[in-house]
Amino acid sequence: MKNARTKIYEEASESCCIATLSQCRSCKEKNTCLILRDQLSFYNRLGISQIDDAIDSNSLNSIKHLWKDSVRTKRYDPSWNYSEDNTRAYTHAIHPYPAMMIPQVAGRLIDMYAKPKAVVLDPFSGSGSVLLEAFIRGYDSYGIDINPLSLLISRVKTTPLNYKDLQIELKKILKKASLITNTKKPNFFNIDYWFKPEVASQLTALQAAVNSINDKPVPAGFKRGKVKDFFKVVFSFTVRAASNTRNGEFKLYRIDDDKLKNYSPDAFEIFKKRAEENIASIAGLWEKYSRSKTKVNILNEDARHRTSIKDRKVDIVVTSPPYGDSKTTVAYGQFSRLSLQWLGFEGEDIDIDNRSLGGRLDVKNLHLGYASLNLRYALDLVSRADKKRAREVLAFYVDLNKCFMELCRVIKKGGMLCMVVGNRTVKGVQLPTDEIAADFGESAGFKHIETIIRKIPNKRMPSKNSPTNEPGVLGSTMTEEYIVIMERAA
């Protein structure tokens, strides 16, 4: 047996230990550890391991729980579609963000399971939709994300500010910005490619005016003012809207050259209009919740690792993880990059796509993918068409599985986990993420309760995914998503 890569696996703690691989000598020598053998064959088929092992051509037949024959409770329920509902209440629409969860879904899940004083967690909090829905119901919450832009939007979305103060501040900012003429524009890569010179100088002036805000606390007893953050969100919106990027794209694509010639956005106007709209949105939050004591804890952490949340702190998780790795699904990093660079972030902070689930192939922890037979079967099918794609897909699920382990630590016994996922298609294979999530959940300590299928309104879907991983080659749009509901076993 050749074992060129054995070093990447850790020493097995005992024979037949499926958590570790190659050094389980007794099993290997006796050739009796079927679990290990099966696992090695699986990785061989993906081209991950170079350990020669006879591939059992019947291995697929031995996998019983194919998603098509799933015995889990799963139902389509049109009452979850909310296709005609207003999704912009309060501050929900202060800044666009890819693949936002609609407030009605977040709110209904919280209402279904939250008991008095419940603590809510969204470990992929994005623009903070779940956090706002928890806040207006009076439940303390935690939100985790690796994207500084998402954390900024979430903070502002869930902080009632006095709209009258904001109106006064807006006037000051616009006046100040109009007087600034000599500020140096930021010096980040390709700034001139993405911004026309006159836009860049307007943005530079706005940025200086926003940064000069003196963010004093509001009167005693009220929430601390976060006026500067509020206007940073407006500024981020303006950066996107006034840039040379194409409208309606989450990835960075530049407007065609011939259209660009006649393109002359007015960044001051965009900023002013957006600020007025956001002030109007926050007025409702201020009027109803300015004296709220409800806490929203927003954490710049990684949901794959141990977080700062205490053991068994959380009663209910409502979340929607990314659909897949950022490179081939929604590129949160690309979406956020220009805003983040203007806001002064750099280095790791803007390297979001590599730090997202599946951003890197975590060879050391590949065994985590083994927790789902549905995943193994799906990967087997993908790997027949393209081994590299199969590895990329596996990398995403290995990361997703790590999150389940952390969720198991922080959720109370009897607490609920509601995860909204999409079953995207790769190389013609529809990946059964809802089943894979339930597999992972069950092996981490959750009990599957039910899966609700809902239709996704067209306008919210980020993009068609690229089944071949080639730019411009589109596959079918996902038209439905799955709300996988699990309970933390007692």
* In the complex, least distance from residue 149 CB atom to ligand SAM, rounded to whole angstroms: 9
Cβ closer to ligand SAM: 36 or 340?
Answer: 340
CB of 279 to ligand SAM, least distance (A): 21
* Residue 43 CB-half CA count within 13 A: 27
Contact 400, 321 (CB under 8 A): yes
Angstrom distances, CA of residue 385 to CA of 88, 376, 379, 381, 390? 42, 15, 10, 7, 9
* Binding track, positions 40-79, relative to ligand SAM; x by CB under 6 A: ----------------------------------------
Please report, as residue ranges, which positions from 274 to 313 form the binding site for ligand SAM (by CB under 6 A). 302-304
- The two structure tokens encoding residue 271: 């900023």
State which of positions 314-373 bind ligand SAM (CB under 6 A): 320-322, 332, 352, 356-357
CA distance 5 to 22: 9
Nearest to 476 by CA among 428, 411, 415: 428
Nearer to ligand SAM, 28 or 337 (CB): 337
Q: Smallest distance from the beta carbon of 356 to ligand SAM, in angstroms?
A: 4
**Could you give the CA distance from residue 460 to residue 378 in angstroms, rounded to a whole number?**
27
**Residue 127 near ligand SAM by CB under 6 A:** yes
Contact segment (CB under 6 A) with ligand SAM among 50-58, 124-132, 363-371, 421-429 equals: 124-132
User: C-beta of 321: minimal distance to ligand SAM in Å?
Assistant: 6
Q: Contact with ligand SAM (CB under 6 A): which of 48, 114, 146, 203?
A: 146
Specify whether the CB–CB gap between 308 and 299 falls below 8 A: yes
- Phi, psi for residue 448 in degrees, rounded to 5: -75, 130
Contact 410, 127 (CB under 8 A): no
Query: By CB under 6 A, is residue 121 in contact with ligand SAM?
Result: no
Q: Which of 51, 93, 114, 144 binds ligand SAM (CB under 6 A)?
A: 144
Sole window of 4-12, 97-105, 182-190, 440-448 interacting with ligand SAM (rule: CB under 6 A):
97-105
Q: Is 124 in the site for ligand SAM (CB under 6 A)?
A: yes
Burial class (CB in 10 A: 0-12, 13-18, 19+), 464: middle
Question: Which amino acid is residue 331, in one-letter code?
Answer: A
Q: Is 98 helix (H, G, I), strand (E, B) or coil?
A: coil
What minimum distance in Å lies between the beta carbon of 298 and ligand SAM?
A: 12
- 145 lies in the site for ligand SAM, by CB under 6 A: yes
Nearest residue to ligand SAM, scored by beta-carbon proximity = 126
Nearer to ligand SAM, 107 or 432 (CB): 107
Alpha-carbon distance of 380 to 101, in angstroms, equals 31
Query: How would you classify the pairing of strands 296-299 and 119-122?
Result: unpaired
Q: Which two tokens stand for residue 468?
A: 């071949």
Q: Which stretch binds ligand SAM (CB under 6 A): 13-21, 92-100, 199-207, 379-387?
A: 92-100
Contacting positions for ligand SAM (CB under 6 A): 97, 99-101, 124, 126-127, 129, 144-147, 150, 302-304, 320-322, 332, 352, 356-357
